[in-house]
């Protein structure tokens, strides 16, 4: 660890006194403000992505009927409130694109990565504060480009968030012109933002840890963010390259993905999923780290198997590079290759199993407090179990023949990304809100948000497994066009009603968030009696975070330690006569 | 839950369903176990005044057990899957009947070889969306696409295969029950994706011969059977 870097950052902090409004709230180089900016970007986009999903659900439950509240949407997207199938394709494409690239990544990686890394490793800011500011603003530009696609002739991208060529490659195939181009450009720009962020995270974690903060004293959230930064650094450029090729095909007349000109459609899928599978872990690993930390805090118990947890995340990250082909079993890829991808995919389930059992081990013998962050972390664990187990069906190639491209896959991805990542996001927001904004969120409203969300989530996504088993294809606009899907239609109606309930269940969260932001009770420095370093800084921490850089004597999970009377023992508390322990 | 599976009328379908059931039992048991433990721990170890959590950092024996047991189960599933996967997608039995299916936005173009048993000759017959096959015969479908990627999905056969522009992919099946079944496209292929569907018409032997005779009235039934011999010899 570099003392020089710490000293520089400290200098920067002392230089800060009264910043103008613009330098403080807009073009801020403070990692905490940038974290908050990413949070607001992500929450804003979540509303848009959620509303798109509501329209998709309406169409599936009551196909080709009038969609309420849509009279303002012009032709040719809606005809007299009836949805055009091409517009339907745009809706689910943009729902997924926004949720993956502009909600889960900005919040879990952008917001919590920025906010937590310097605070949890005990330093004053990121290694490259200006690069950090650029990372947010480049990301915001990507968001504006992405949203602008809704307003161009031909509508927004409609080839699915996976944008398989040649459908995405030739405007006449999809009927979409600049929508798809802007989609590509936006994600290329977002890739630049993510690259700047990941370099910053890696450099900061490697070089700027507080004295005594060894790698194996890092909280698992930081381990997860560190691993994710490495995945981002290596995966995003592959997507950027593929998107560049797609743009060239569309605009410059090349034929990378077009067989008519000697190109190969499967090349797109290989490049996309070579990025796409690490991406899935980019979405879930931070939530795993966050859930581990929160479970330990509220079980008042050390995390069970700290090293096993860290190593299982490392092995997930390593294996994530050799499993991409499991998205392509039915794509026409050589079936022998399919078998090798099946085996690597089965193997990657093992570290996830290890993590689940360790979470159970953490709860065993605890002294469990059911706070809102804890409830959301527990929801993360139980929903991730379902999402993980349903993955085994797809890994088994013969079963995948049937369930590939059905609602079984849709159920699986939502158990992982909503049940996993989004409950992780809620847990993290409830947990770190006091540190972020200096005020407590309301526990009662938190529970009024949690329980309906948890129930409506399961009512929405669990029945999708049944649709999948019944053979219901993904991405169809009207299930009633198929005789064999008629018996499943009542399930579609049930899912849609549950999805609306799930949407409404977010209202208490929005109220709680904004009410607490301005009128919540002032938060103490360490309201949860947690061990990690961010809780030794004031709430909210000032520019520069710590008065004096803390020295770390032990790991982050010393809860209920016999060495002290209280049931927590902060990482930086020096115990007289006690030997600092490695754990 | 698996009672929602569509009817199963292919020779390899029951094997897929068996594996589906096996994984269903294994994952359900795991889910019940994990959830029961989770709930039990939440109840047993909820906060009580004067309670202090057990101070432990883990247990190596447990870590080894819960690494090895899932690994063994998963590797077992992988090997069971591999055998069936190879039988379905790699080692097709010799064809009794060959037919070409070309996907295009938004239809399945079905081409029959006719009495000479060869595709691409004058006596070929082509129509959109209706795929006539005999029951209890091995059918090879030569899949192509004219534009984007489509996916040939026959739920009752447990068969799905993407059709790619620029290549020919051969899939096979043997239907065990006459009837009419839907062939939806399972890969997003544009604004008409929803509703792109064909019909698989599985004829009993007499019905199939009658269909051949209606289609190629000039040829004797024996000649109409020609594709069976040629394809089998080639296979």
pLDDT at B117 over 90: no
Decide if A174 and B190 are in contact by the 8 Å CB cutoff.
yes
A502 within 8 A of A456, measured Cβ to Cβ: yes
* Chain CA centroid to CA B12, Å: 9
B219 within 8 A of B209, measured Cβ to Cβ: no
* Chain CA centroid to CA A423, Å: 10
Structure confidence at residue B230 (pLDDT): 42
Length of chain A: 583
Assess B105–A contact: CB distance below 8 Å, yes or no: yes
Alpha-carbon span A380 to B42, nearest angstrom:
15
**How wide is the angle at C-alpha A391 spanned by C-alphas A328 and A106, nearest 5°?**
85
Average pLDDT over residues A206-223: 97
Structure confidence at residue B35 (pLDDT): 97
**Residues in B touching A477 (Cβ below 8 Å):** 193-195
**How wide is the angle at C-alpha B79 spanned by C-alphas B73 and B85, nearest 5°?**
130
Question: What is the residue extent of each domain of chain A?
Answer: 30-536
Three-state SS annotation for A178-206:
HHHHHHHHHHHHHHHHHHHHHHHHHHHHH
Q: What is the DSSP letter of B109?
A: E
**Residues in B touching A343 (Cβ below 8 Å):** 75, 78
Structure confidence at residue B223 (pLDDT): 41
Alpha-carbon span B95 to B148, nearest angstrom:
27
Q: What is the DSSP letter of A438?
A: S
End-to-end CA distance of chain B: 40
Alpha-carbon span B106 to B114, nearest angstrom:
25
Binning pLDDT at 50, 70 and 90, where does residue B122 land? confident
pLDDT at A26 over 90: no
Assess B30–A contact: CB distance below 8 Å, yes or no: yes
Decide if B166 and A264 are in contact by the 8 Å CB cutoff.
yes
Structure confidence at residue B219 (pLDDT): 67
**Residues in A touching B81 (Cβ below 8 Å):** 342, 396-399
* Chain CA centroid to CA A387, Å: 15
A303 within 8 A of A217, measured Cβ to Cβ: no
The DSSP H or E segment spanning B202 is strand B197-203
Decide if B147 and A343 are in contact by the 8 Å CB cutoff.
no
Decide if B85 and A398 are in contact by the 8 Å CB cutoff.
yes
Alpha-carbon span A382 to A420, nearest angstrom:
9
Q: What is the DSSP letter of A254?
A: -
Average pLDDT over residues A137-146: 97
- Token digits of residue A225: 């963010």
The DSSP H or E segment spanning B100 is strand B97-104
Average pLDDT over residues A21-38: 91
pLDDT at A321 over 70: yes
End-to-end CA distance of chain A: 19
Decide if B167 and A300 are in contact by the 8 Å CB cutoff.
no
Structure confidence at residue A318 (pLDDT): 96
Q: A with B: how many residue pairs have Cβ under 8 Å apart?
A: 289
Assess B37–A contact: CB distance below 8 Å, yes or no: yes
Structure confidence at residue B34 (pLDDT): 96
Assess B62–A contact: CB distance below 8 Å, yes or no: yes
Relative to beta strand B150-154, strand B107-112 is: unpaired
Searching chain B, which residue's CA lies closest to the CA of residue A382?
A: B35
Alpha-carbon span A300 to A302, nearest angstrom:
7
Alpha-carbon span B15 to B26, nearest angstrom:
17
Average pLDDT over residues B180-196: 96
- Cα maximum dimension of chain A: 78
pLDDT at A157 over 60: yes
Q: What is the dihedral of CA A482, A488, A493, A495, to 10 degrees?
A: -120
- Token digits of residue A354: 């290890």
Alpha-carbon span A276 to A280, nearest angstrom:
6
- pLDDT tens figures, A332-355: 999 999 999 999 999 999 999 999
What are the φ and ψ backbone dihedral angles of A383, each rounded to 5 degrees? Answer: -75, -35
Structure confidence at residue A422 (pLDDT): 97
Structure confidence at residue A102 (pLDDT): 97
pLDDT at A503 over 60: yes
From its phi and psi, is residue A558 left (phi > 0), alpha (psi between -120 and 50) or beta? beta
- Token digits of residue B7: 């009817």
Percent of the residues in chain A that have a pLDDT greater than 70, as a whole number: 96
- pLDDT tens figures, A426-477: 999 999 999 999 999 999 999 999 999 999 999 999 999 999 999 999 999 9
Binning pLDDT at 50, 70 and 90, where does residue A583 land? very low
Task: For residue A480, count CB atoms less than 10 angstroms from its CB and return exposed for 0-12, middle for 13-18, buried for 19 or more.
Answer: middle
Binning pLDDT at 50, 70 and 90, where does residue A22 land? confident
Alpha-carbon span A204 to A197, nearest angstrom:
10
pLDDT at A16 over 60: no
- pLDDT tens figures, A392-433: 999 999 999 999 999 999 999 999 999 999 999 999 999 999
**Which of B149, B161, B181 is facing A164, going by the closest CB pair?**
B149
Q: Angle A178-207/A220-251 helices, nearest 10 degrees?
A: 150
pLDDT at A225 over 80: yes
Alpha-carbon span A112 to A109, nearest angstrom:
6
The DSSP H or E segment spanning B182 is strand B179-184
Alpha-carbon span A540 to A534, nearest angstrom:
10
- Token digits of residue A55: 């329209």
For residue A443, count other CB atoms closer than 10 A to its CB: 14
Confirm or reject CATH 2.40.110.10 for domain B97-234, answering yes or no: no
- CB contacts under 8 A, B 149-188 vs A, are 149, 151, 153, 155-156, 158-167, 169, 181-182, 184-188
A420 within 8 A of A381, measured Cβ to Cβ: no
Decide if B57 and A583 are in contact by the 8 Å CB cutoff.
yes
pLDDT at A577 over 80: no
Average pLDDT over residues A289-318: 97
From its phi and psi, is residue B143 left (phi > 0), alpha (psi between -120 and 50) or beta? beta
* Chain CA centroid to CA A55, Å: 23
**Residues in B touching A369 (Cβ below 8 Å):** 47
Alpha-carbon span A180 to A149, nearest angstrom:
8
Length of chain B: 235
Alpha-carbon span B36 to A404, nearest angstrom:
30
What are the φ and ψ backbone dihedral angles of A209, each rounded to 5 degrees? Answer: -70, 145
Q: What is the DSSP letter of A581?
A: P
Q: Where are the alpha helices (DSSP H) in A364-396?
A: 372-395
Long-range contacts of B210-218 (CB under 8 A, 24+ apart): B211/B132, B215/B112, B215/B125, B216/B114, B216/B115, B216/B123, B216/B125
Structure confidence at residue B68 (pLDDT): 95
- pLDDT tens figures, A50-106: 999 999 999 999 999 999 999 999 988 999 899 999 999 999 999 999 999 999 999
Percent of the residues in chain A that have a pLDDT greater than 90, as a whole number: 93
**Which of A175, A265, A343 is facing B78, going by the closest CB pair?**
A343
- Token digits of residue B171: 């899939």
CATH superfamily, domain A30-536, is: Cytochrome c oxidase-like, subunit I domain (1.20.210.10)
pTM exceeding 0.90: yes
Determine the distance in angstroms separating the CA of A213 from the nearest CA of chain B, rounded to an integer. Answer: 19
Structure confidence at residue B232 (pLDDT): 40
Question: What is the residue extent of each domain of chain B?
Answer: 2-90, 97-234
Strand, coil or helix: A437: helix
- Token digits of residue B156: 């009752």
Class of domain B2-90: mainly alpha
**Which of A265, A308, A332 is facing B169, going by the closest CB pair?**
A332
A292 within 8 A of A220, measured Cβ to Cβ: yes
pLDDT at A5 over 60: no
- CB contacts under 8 A, B 81-100 vs A, are 81-82, 84-86, 88-90
pLDDT at B233 over 50: no
Alpha-carbon distance values, A49 to A90, A134, A145, A186, A555 (Å)? 12, 25, 15, 16, 39
Relative to beta strand B197-203, strand B179-184 is: antiparallel
pLDDT at A218 over 90: yes
For residue B51, count other CB atoms closer than 10 A to its CB: 15
Decide if B105 and A354 are in contact by the 8 Å CB cutoff.
no
Residue pointed to by tokens 């169809």: A476
ipTM for the assembly: 0.92
- Token digits of residue A229: 């930064």
Three-state SS annotation for A469-505:
HCCCECCCCCHHHCHHHHHHHHHHHHHHHHHHHHHHC
């Amino acid at each position: 660890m570099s003392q020089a870097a710490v000293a520089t950052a400290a200098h920067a902090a002392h230089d800060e006194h009264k910043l103008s409004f613009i330098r403080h709230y807009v073009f801020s180089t403070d990692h905490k403000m940038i974290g908050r900016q990413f949070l607001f970007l992500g929450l804003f986009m979540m509303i848009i992505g959620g509303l798109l999903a509501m329209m998709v659900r309406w169409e599936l439950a009551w196909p080709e009927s009038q969609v309420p509240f849509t009279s303002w949407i012009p032709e040719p997207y809606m005809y007299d409130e009836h949805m055009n199938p091409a517009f339907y394709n745009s809706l689910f494409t943009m729902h997924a694109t926004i949720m993956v690239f502009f909600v889960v990544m900005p919040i879990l990686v952008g917001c919590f990565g920025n906010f937590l890394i310097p605070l949890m490793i005990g330093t004053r800011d990121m290694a490259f504060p200006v690069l950090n500011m650029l990372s947010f603003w480049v990301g915001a530009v990507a968001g504006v480009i992405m949203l602008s696609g809704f307003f161009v002739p031909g509508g927004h991208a409609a080839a699915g968030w996976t944008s398989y060529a040649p459908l995405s490659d030739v405007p006449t195939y999809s009927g979409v012109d600049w929508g798809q181009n802007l989609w590509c450009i936006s994600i290329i720009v977002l890739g630049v933002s993510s690259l700047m962020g990941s370099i910053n995270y890696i450099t900061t974690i490697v070089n700027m840890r507080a004295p005594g903060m060894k790698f194996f004293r890092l909280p698992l959230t930081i381990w997860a963010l560190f691993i994710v930064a490495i995945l981002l650094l290596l995966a995003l450029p592959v997507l950027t390259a593929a998107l560049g090729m797609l743009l060239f095909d569309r605009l410059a007349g090349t034929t990378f993905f077009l067989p008519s000109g000697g190109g190969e459609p499967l090349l797109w899928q290989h490049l996309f999923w070579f990025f796409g599978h690490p991406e899935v872990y980019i979405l879930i690993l931070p939530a795993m780290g966050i859930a581990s930390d929160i479970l330990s805090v509220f079980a008042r118990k050390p995390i069970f198997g700290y090293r096993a947890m860290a190593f299982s995340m490392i092995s997930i990250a390593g294996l994530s590079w050799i499993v991409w082909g499991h998205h392509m079993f039915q794509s026409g890829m050589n079936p022998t290759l399919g078998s090798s991808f099946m085996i690597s995919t089965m193997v990657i389930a093992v570290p996830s199993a290890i993590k689940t059992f360790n979470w159970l081990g953490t709860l065993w013998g605890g002294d469990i407090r059911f706070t809102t962050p804890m409830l959301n972390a527990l929801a993360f664990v139980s929903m991730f179990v379902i999402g993980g187990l349903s993955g085994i069906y797809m890994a088994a190639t013969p079963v995948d023949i049937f369930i590939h491209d059905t609602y079984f896959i849709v159920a699986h991805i939502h158990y992982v990304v909503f049940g996993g990542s989004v409950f992780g996001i809620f847990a993290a927001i409830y947990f770190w809100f006091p540190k972020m904004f200096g005020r407590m969120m309301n526990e009662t409203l938190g529970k009024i948000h949690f329980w309906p969300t948890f129930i409506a989530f399961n009512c929405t996504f669990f029945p999708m497994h049944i649709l999948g088993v019944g053979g219901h294809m993904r991405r169809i606009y009207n299930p009633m066009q198929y005789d064999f899907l008629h018996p499943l239609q009542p399930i579609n109606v049930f899912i849609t009603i549950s999805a609306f309930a799930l949407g409404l269940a977010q209202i208490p969260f929005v109220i709680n968030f904004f009410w607490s932001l301005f009128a919540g009770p002032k938060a103490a420095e360490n309201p949860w009696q947690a061990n990690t370093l961010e809780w030794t800084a004031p709430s909210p921490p000032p520019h520069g975070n710590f008065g004096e850089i803390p020295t770390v004597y032990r790991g982050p999970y010393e809860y209920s330690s016999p060495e002290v009377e209280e049931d927590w023992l902060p990482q930086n508390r020096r115990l007289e006569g006690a030997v600092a322990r490695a754990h | 839950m698996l009672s929602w599976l569509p009817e199963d009328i292919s020779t390899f379908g029951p094997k897929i369903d068996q594996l589906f059931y096996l994984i269903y039992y294994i994952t359900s048991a795991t889910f019940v176990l994990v959830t029961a433990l989770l709930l039990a721990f939440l109840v047993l170890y909820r906060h009580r005044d004067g309670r202090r959590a057990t101070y432990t950092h883990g247990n190596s024996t447990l870590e080894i057990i819960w690494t090895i047991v899932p690994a063994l189960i998963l590797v077992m599933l992988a090997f069971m899957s591999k055998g069936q996967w190879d039988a379905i997608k790699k080692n097709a039995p010799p064809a009794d009947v060959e037919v070409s299916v070309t996907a295009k936005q938004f239809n399945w173009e079905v081409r029959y070889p006719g009495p000479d048993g060869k595709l691409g000759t004058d006596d070929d017959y082509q129509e959109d969306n209706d795929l006539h096959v005999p029951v209890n015969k091995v059918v090879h479908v030569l899949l192509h696409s004219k534009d984007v990627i489509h996916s040939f999905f026959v739920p009752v056969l447990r068969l799905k295969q993407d059709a790619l522009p620029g290549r020919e992919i051969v899939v096979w099946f043997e239907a065990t029950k006459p009837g009419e079944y839907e062939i939806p496209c399972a890969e997003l292929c544009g604004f008409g994706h929803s509703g792109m569907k064909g019909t698989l018409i599985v004829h009993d032997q007499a019905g199939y011969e009658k269909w051949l005779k209606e289609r190629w009235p000039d040829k004797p039934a024996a000649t109409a059977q020609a594709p069976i011999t040629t394809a089998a010899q080639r296979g």
